[in-house]
A and B are shown apart, each in its own frame.
Chain A
Amino acid sequence: MNIEAGQQTSFDVVLDASADQPVGLLGGLTRRQMMKFCAGVAATMGLSQAAGVRMALAAENPKRPPVIWLHGQECTGCTESLLRSYHPTLESLILDVISLDYHDTLCVGAGKQALDYKHKIMEEYRGKYILVTEGGTPMAADGIYCKVGGRTQVELVREAAAGAAAVIAIGSCASWGGVQSAFPNPTGAVGTAEVIPGTTVINVPGCPPNPYNFLSTVLHILTFGEPPALDELNRPKFAYGRLIHENCERRPHFDAGRFALEFGDAGHRQGYCLYKIGCKGPETHANCPAIGFGDVGEGNWPVGIGAPCFGCTEKGVGFTKPIHALANLVSQTPPSLYPSVDGARGHGASPGAAALVGGVVGVALGAGAMFVKDMAQERDQAAAQKKPAREV
């Protein structure tokens, strides 16, 4: 209640009478709706409501910062993930919040036309545009394993990064190499940070990452002109500051020693902890249990639907460890003495109770049998009496 009211007051300071009119620049959203969205994003990042207001104002700014989005070795899953964000939708993001000037999957132009436009933007907005890299960069054999327009990915990344205000690596591939960097890594795939040493690359790992972690990072950069607080692997702390294990809804099962031991067993069906079937939640940093995927409410994330976390946001875990290998317990170790999983609780049949039930059933059977016997006798007698009478 109070938060709502407080939000209302801080909104009213900046919003005028036309606040509830749809604004074309915001993709048909009203200014109030945009304000609310940004307040939500700010809350996700643990910022104040005032920051939410500033974000909304930054997003409304007609001078939208250009974004150049490069694709390397990847599956476009990160873009697919972003396509499925609904508040705001992708179109209001790329048309109103940022200016997505070059994106291999989404740009209208193709071939030389698209590449020329990319170069034009890179010249015009030198030092101002945001570079987003999706996918790993192959380094082996001079990077010949991934080329766009005849140039290797290494060259393209270095060229674009030289004039970028900020570099964001979206997805596990861009963050540290991802699936193609798995042993034996024939293409020598690495993350964007290793291609441009010395430049700070904001890593938003995940396979795919939650679109809102990316959106929040972008809005933070737009608003404050600097990236959000980062951890030692340059991942935004608001999203990757905690282990999945810490916020997992199945955590009580872990603490109580209730584990699914194989897929589809009684424990798995009843939502027990997935640690013993290879869940990497105890060594993986991400906010998956807190925000979920697909905008369909809580519980919609791998562990929530019974699939063990495979550690996609953690270098050295995802795509590296066997999927069903046990996770390293980074922070919590299971109690040394678990309560018994299959020990009996409650009370079974005592000899007295069994005897009593037996006795009652016996008496009922006996009485019933006697009753039916009497009935049958009476019936037979009646029949015997009737018969001669009829014959006579």
Chain B
Amino acid sequence: MLGLLVAIAGIFLLKRFVYGLGAVSNLSAGYPWGLWVTWDLIIGSSLGCGGFAMAMLIYVFNQGHYHPLMRPALLSSLFGYVLAGSAAIIDMGRWWQFYNLLLPWHWNFSSVMLETGLCVSAYTMLLFVETSPMVLERFGLEKWRKRVASVMWLIIAIGILLPFMHQSSLGSILLVSGHKLSPLYYTPFLPLLFVSSVLAMGYALVVFEATVVTKSFRLASEHHMLARLSHLIGWILAGWLLLRWGDLLWRGALGDALAPTALAASFWFENALALFAAIAFLSPAARRDEVWTFLAAVALLLFAIVYRFNAYLVAYTPAIDGYEYFPSVQEILVTLGMIALEILLYVVCIKLFPVLHAPVRQVAHA
């Protein structure tokens, strides 16, 4: 089934590269960014922040007991970012010019896009290095594993820095759009809102993944770890909501939320999800319960996804009126195929490499 979706996406991608963007997507001069940028790139890379969020928790705040969650999170980060990077190229009108990003004499230092592009590329490279021990262990390349391990502290440190930079830049990009963005979403705090929501999203993804994987593969439950993590997520999310609503009230932008528009509906849906997740994560009873924790994590992920969809597409009005956009069937199928590919590779990797439980012993020895 997943393979079929990947194959369909492959066909449309081929069509996209032979006949151009217009043949496959509904992108237009008014909406140069559509589903591919919003889902595959923005949300894809945000979903890929599990690794970053966990690395920060484990290494910066020295919470070693979370370590078993690290490798699965890193792996999903790697796929999230590879997907984001390839989506950028797929979505680029003149993708063959992409190499110019790597030529420093072509750099425009006042561009948020440059910062994002470079930072995402660098972080994807880092993720390959960070995940390499799994592959090296699998093939018993002990000498190489040690070499990588000796510089891992530096890699991890940069790996925590970079997402802070580009995930906030993904919000800064929207600052450039000015009046095109609804006042409900346009705020000087966009970068902070993006980077802090991505942190909560990263942890929620870890909860989601750990639950799904342990259930699907019938492994021992990791709920004791997830419950503690949930508390942290709850506070991050509560802080986020406070900042978001404080800013909305302070700017007096809430009027738009009461207008009978699709945006307002989407705004309330987004905030209802966030509120549900925050309450569930902060209530001790719900935290003790595996099912509620899982539901809260799903709600948080949905919230963060809807927030990004709203900010990048629903709340966005092109400078020239009259444009509308909804992804085409082919566009959606490409995205579905990419997701399918990601899940497929994740499952294959879990089976091939020591992702899930091996690290516990490794760390104990280290």
Q: Tell me whether A and B are bound partners.
A: yes
Given contacts A371-B212, A371-B215, contact A347 B291 (CB under 8 A): no
A266 within 8 A of B: yes
Inter-chain contacts of A347 with B (CB < 8 A) = 26, 28, 324-326, 328
Contacts of A267 in B (CB 8 A): 321
Does B323 count as interface, using CB distance less than 8 angstroms?
yes
In the bound complex, what is the Cα–Cα distance between A327 and B333 (angstroms)? 53
A-B contact pairs, 12 of them (CB 8 A): A267-B321, A269-B179, A342-B322, A345-B322, A346-B31, A347-B324, A347-B326, A350-B328, A353-B332, A368-B298, A371-B215, A379-B290
Q: Do residues B326 and A353 form an inter-chain contact, with CB atoms below 8 A?
A: yes
Is B289 an interface residue, CB under 8 A from the partner?
yes
Q: Are A348 and B179 in contact (CB under 8 A)?
A: no
**Interface of chain A, main secondary structure:** helix
Write out the residue numbers on chain B whose beta carbons fall within 8 Å of the beta carbon of A342: 321-322
Residue B294 interfacial (CB < 8 Å): yes
Query: Does A141 lie at the interface of the complex (its beta carbon under 8 Å from any beta carbon of B)?
Result: no
A266 to chain B, nearest CB (A): 6
The interface residues of chain A lying within 8 Å CB-to-CB of B290 are 375, 379
Q: How many residues of B contact A (CB 8 A)?
A: 30
A289 CB, min distance to chain B CBs, angstroms: 20
Complex CA gap A358/B25 in Å reads 19
Contact present for B336 and A360 (CB under 8 Å): yes
User: In the complex the two chains form, is A345's CB within 8 Å of B326's CB?
Assistant: no
Do A356 and B329 touch across chains, with their CB atoms under 8 A apart?
yes
B289 (CB) vs chain A CBs: closest residue: A379
Answer whether A379 and B291 are a contact pair too, CB < 8 Å, given A270-B319, A348-B324, A360-B336.
yes
Q: Are A341 and B322 in contact (CB under 8 A)?
A: yes
A330 at the interface (CB under 8 A from B): no
Question: Which residues does chain A contribute within 8 Å of B333, judged by CB atoms?
Answer: 356
Known: A347-B28, A353-B332. A375 touches B294 (CB 8 A): yes
Q: With an 8 A cutoff between CB atoms, is B320 at the interface? A: yes
Could you tell me the distance in whole angstroms from the C-beta of B16 to the nearest C-beta in chain A?
16
The verdict on A20 contacting chain B, using a C-beta distance below 8 Å, is no
- Check: B327 CB closer than 8 A to any chain A CB: yes
Chain A residues proximal to chain B, CB less than 8 Å: 258, 266-267, 269-270, 340-350, 352-354, 356-357, 360, 368, 371-372, 374-376, 379
Chain B min CB distance to A370 (Å): 11
Please count the residue pairs between chain A and chain B whose beta carbons lie under 8 angstroms apart in the complex.
Answer: 73
List which B70-113 residues lie within 8 A (CB) of chain A: none
B321 touches A346 (CB 8 A): no
B295 contacts A by Cβ under 8 Å: yes
Which B positions have Cβ atoms within 8 angstroms of A?
26, 28-31, 179, 211-212, 215, 289-291, 294-295, 298, 319-329, 331-333, 336
Complex contact B329–A353 (CB within 8 A): yes
A46 to B328, CA, bound (A): 55
Q: Which residue of B lies closest to A360 (CB)?
A: B336
Which residue on B lies nearest to A346, using beta carbons?
B28
Max count, chain A CB within 10 A of own CB: residue among B289, B320, B333? B320
A269-B179, A346-B31, A360-B336 known; A376-B291 Cβ under 8 A = yes
B215 contact set on A, CB distance < 8 A:
371, 374-375
Min Cβ gap B211→A in Å is 8
CB distance from B330 to the nearest CB of A (A): 9
User: Quick check: B295 and A346 within 8 Å, CB to CB?
Assistant: no
Q: Kindly report which residue of chain A lies nearest to residue B25, judged by CB atoms.
A: A347
Task: Tell me, in angstroms, the Cα distance from A350 to B331 when the chains sit together.
Answer: 12
The contact of A341 among B26, B321, B328, by CB within 8 Å, is B321
Given A342-B322, A346-B324; 10 other pairs, CB 8 A cutoff: A258-B320, A267-B321, A270-B321, A344-B324, A345-B323, A350-B329, A352-B329, A360-B336, A372-B294, A375-B291
Q: Tell which of A258, A347, A350, A376 has the most Cβ of chain B within 10 Å.
A: A347
Tell me which residues across on chain A come within 8 A of B29, comparing CB atoms. 345
Nearest residue, chain B, Cβ from A343: B322
Q: Check A353–B289 contact: CB distance below 8 A.
A: no
Distance (whole angstroms) from the CB of B363 to the closest CB of chain A:
28
Complex Cα gap A343–B320 (Å): 11
Q: From the candidates B30, B319, B322, B336, name the one contacting A340 in the complex (CB within 8 A).
A: B322
- Expressed in whole angstroms, the Cα–Cα distance for A341 and B331 within the complex equals 28
Which residues of the partner chain B approach A356 to less than 8 Å between Cβ atoms?
Answer: 329, 332-333
Compute how far the CA of A267 lies from the CA of B327 in the bound complex, rounded to whole angstroms: 27
Shortest distance from the beta carbon of B105 to any chain A beta carbon, whole Å: 20
